């Protein structure tokens, strides 16, 4: 049995305008279970760049909450557009299980086509590495370093206010609220 106060991090990026260059804010919120907001981390990654895995693993490994953390939740496998996260590498560097949360079933073939079109064929590997898309209730997940049963057990604890883990919902609100002056939409 998992403790109700299991410490997890949920990660999301800020919105940005199409064709913008530069960096986007990435926010990680740390929760005890699905209710207690414990702290936040932030970093920046380049739009459509290649540094998301490095920046996010450093952000997690350097934080004071690291010894207590038990799971990483990502809102999709990319931040800042096509700055795709290598989930296997993130798992290896942080020694933490990684659960990618996906709201709508992704059209992997379409994503691959787009990556070829925009000359980012090298990212297809990363998408394939993320593993099978597993339905869970009304959403989907991809798992690294954790069993389906255990991931489902953690989801039950952390999805307190919506279909998605509370730390992802809040990371989304923060990232958009800081960047746009007002939070909006759903994670």
**Minimum CB–partner distance for residue 60 and a second copy (Å):** 11
Provide the 3-class DSSP secondary structure of residue 54. Answer: helix
Q: Which alpha helices (DSSP H) does 65-129 contain, by range?
A: 87-94, 108-117, 124-129
**Minimum CB–partner distance for residue 120 and a second copy (Å):** 28
Nearer of residues 43 and 144 to a second copy, judged by Cβ: 43
Q: What is the DSSP string of 129-154?
A: HT---EEETTEEEEEESS-HHHHHHH
Nearer of residues 42 and 50 to a second copy, judged by Cβ: 42
**Minimum CB–partner distance for residue 28 and a second copy (Å):** 9
Nearer of residues 144 and 176 to a second copy, judged by Cβ: 176
**Cβ proximity of 19 and 171 under 8 Å:** no
By the criterion CB under 8 A, which residues form the site for a second copy?
25, 27, 35-37, 39-43, 59, 62-64, 161, 170, 173-174, 177-178, 181-184
Nearer of residues 132 and 182 to a second copy, judged by Cβ: 182
SS (H, E, C) 30-69: EEECCCEEEEEEEEEEECCCCCHHHHHHHHHHCCCCHHHC
**Minimum CB–partner distance for residue 73 and a second copy (Å):** 16
């Amino acid at each position: 049995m998992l403790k109700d106060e299991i410490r997890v991090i949920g990660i999301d990026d800020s919105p940005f305008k199409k064709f913008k260059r530069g960096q986007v804010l990435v926010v990680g919120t740390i929760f005890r279970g699905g209710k207690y907001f414990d702290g936040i981390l932030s970093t920046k990654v380049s739009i459509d760049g290649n540094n998301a895995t490095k920046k996010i693993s450093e952000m997690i490994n350097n934080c004071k909450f690291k010894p207590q953390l038990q799971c990483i939740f990502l809102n999709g496998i990319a931040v800042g557009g096509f700055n795709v996260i290598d989930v296997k590498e993130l798992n290896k560097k942080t020694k933490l299980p990684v659960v990618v949360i996906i709201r709508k079933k992704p059209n992997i073939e379409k994503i691959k086509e787009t990556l070829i079109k925009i000359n980012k064929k090298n990212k297809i590997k990363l998408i394939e590495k993320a593993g099978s898309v597993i339905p869970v209730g009304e959403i989907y997940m991809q798992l690294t370093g954790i069993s389906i049963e255990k991931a489902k057990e953690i989801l039950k604890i952390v999805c307190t206010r919506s279909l998605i883990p509370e730390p992802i919902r809040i990371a989304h609100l923060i990232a958009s609220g800081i960047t746009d002056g007002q939070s909006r939409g759903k994670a």
